Amino acid sequence: MAITNATRLSDFGAGIGTQGAIIQVDNSNARLGIGTTNPTAMLSVGPNAAIIMDGIAGVITATSFAGSATGLTGTPSVTVNLVSATDVNVSGSATIDGHLSVAGTITHEDVTNVDSVGIVTGRLGVRVLAGGIQVVGVYTGLLASGIATVADGVRVDNGGLQVVGIYTGLKAGISTFTNDISIHGTAGVGAGTSIKWNASANKLRFNDNTKAEWGDGSDLAIFHNATDNIIDCLNDKTLKIVNDSAGGNETMIECDPNGSVDLFFNGSKKLETTNSGLIVTGVCTAQVPAAPLNDPSGTYTLVASDAGKVVVADNTITVDQNVFSPGDLITVMNDTASTMTLTQGTSVTLRKAGTADTGSLTISVRGVITIICLTTTGFFVCGNLE
């Protein structure tokens, strides 16, 4: 049928085909299809509408784009599956829902915050030149195998810094902290074991039951358990206190497990403890302490607390049985201008030293005697006796 002005629109409504090519006009929906009989937008191109243009919204949808981006301006929204480009410059915000793989270097200029929901892995290290690192919560993602350089310190506000496994990345350099440092045990802050470096006081403090250990096998520990100050040898080795100031490694104190404790003077042992007592090498000088006095008035019977004392008497003194223990010494001084009687109590034997005399004895004027207890009923008496 020949196309005339009267039949043109109706023929277009059914489509025009030339050797398989189709131009479809949808008058009711104001749509034009090229290569398709079912246009889905103002302009649809291709059998499956691969290119769609919405003239009202100003949106072009296509599977891919090939050509130069020169002259592409404005602020359109572009949704694509893959972008391959030599350079990408973003002056605003970029949101990436999936993964971003970068083979080269990412350089951030004038970035205030980098917000990562997951774990940030630095395979060759993380370098912070200023501002420090602030960790809120427990950080378990320290997977870096390189060097971490922190210029202004590490700040852990809440939850602590947790490293799972062994961190082997700190191979060189010095970490400098200008303020206090706190290291807490598994119980957390203020709940027992912890260590704190107090920068203002210039001291390292170990809390109660926090041990400082030395040796590959945890051989020696020093700590305070809230009651005692303890140096603990955790093996069977000798504990020594030495002085190496003169280069001679001079031993001062030596403690052997299950053995002796030895004291040295100028490297020479002078005192050794044994199972039965002490061994002293050289002269032993002892200062005898002043003896306490007991000054009773009138006749007096000695009591157990008089052992080791000087009893200043002005009248008769009696010694009873079962009062003193073997080895007790009692000194009696006659503080009068006349002789004084030392009375032998019931079942008691008083022996005058150097003689065969027994019984009650007479103390000389202003005399001093010593009573030595052999048994609970037997005594030797020496001194100023008549």
Query: CA torsion, points 333, 335, 340, 342, in degrees to nearest 10?
Result: -30
In DSSP notation, 195-242 reads EEEETTTTEEEE-TT--EEETTTT-EEEEE-SS-EEEEE-SSSPEEEE
Greatest CA span in the chain, whole angstroms? Answer: 174
If you average pLDDT over residues 358-363, what whole number do you get? 96
If you average pLDDT over residues 114-118, what whole number do you get? 67
pLDDT for residue 146: 46
pLDDT for residue 200: 87
316: pLDDT strictly greater than 80 = yes
Q: Let me know: does 219 contact 240? Beta carbons within 8 Å.
A: no
**Percent share of the chain, pLDDT over 70:** 66
* Three-state secondary-structure class, residue 306: helix
pLDDT digits (tens, 9 = 90+) for 202-254: 999 888 888 899 999 889 999 998 899 999 998 989 999 988 876 668 899 99
Average pLDDT over all residues of the chain? 78
**Beta strands 154-158; 133-136: pairing state:** parallel
First-residue to last-residue Cα distance in the chain: 173
**Higher-confidence position of 336 and 145:** 336
Confidence class of residue 166 from pLDDT cuts 50, 70 and 90? very low
For residue 218, the Cα-to-chain-centroid distance in whole angstroms is 15
If you average pLDDT over residues 7-25, what whole number do you get? 57
Closest-CA residue to 121 (of 151, 154, 99): 99
pLDDT for residue 145: 43
If you average pLDDT over residues 287-305, what whole number do you get? 90
If you average pLDDT over residues 116-140, what whole number do you get? 62
374: pLDDT strictly greater than 90 = yes
* Three-state secondary-structure class, residue 14: helix
Tokens, residue 297: 């008035």
Distance CA 148, CA 123 (A): 11
Fold (topology level) of 293-383: Jelly Rolls (2.60.120)
Closest-CA residue to 376 (of 310, 323, 330): 323
291: pLDDT strictly greater than 50 = yes
pLDDT digits (tens, 9 = 90+) for 28-37: 888 888 878 7
8: pLDDT strictly greater than 50 = no
B/e letters for 114-135, b = 16+ CB within 10 Å, e = fewer, are: eeeeeeeeeeeebeeeeeeeeb
Q: Which residues are paired to 44 by β-bridges?
A: 33, 52
pLDDT for residue 165: 46
If you average pLDDT over residues 260-267, what whole number do you get? 92
Confidence class of residue 74 from pLDDT cuts 50, 70 and 90? low
If you average pLDDT over residues 12-36, what whole number do you get? 70
Distance CA 243, CA 131 (A): 45
Confidence class of residue 43 from pLDDT cuts 50, 70 and 90? confident
> What residues does each domain of the chain span?
14-62, 238-286, 293-383
Torsions phi, psi for 13 (to 5 deg): -60, -30
Q: Let me know: does 346 contact 339? Beta carbons within 8 Å.
A: no
Confidence class of residue 294 from pLDDT cuts 50, 70 and 90? very high
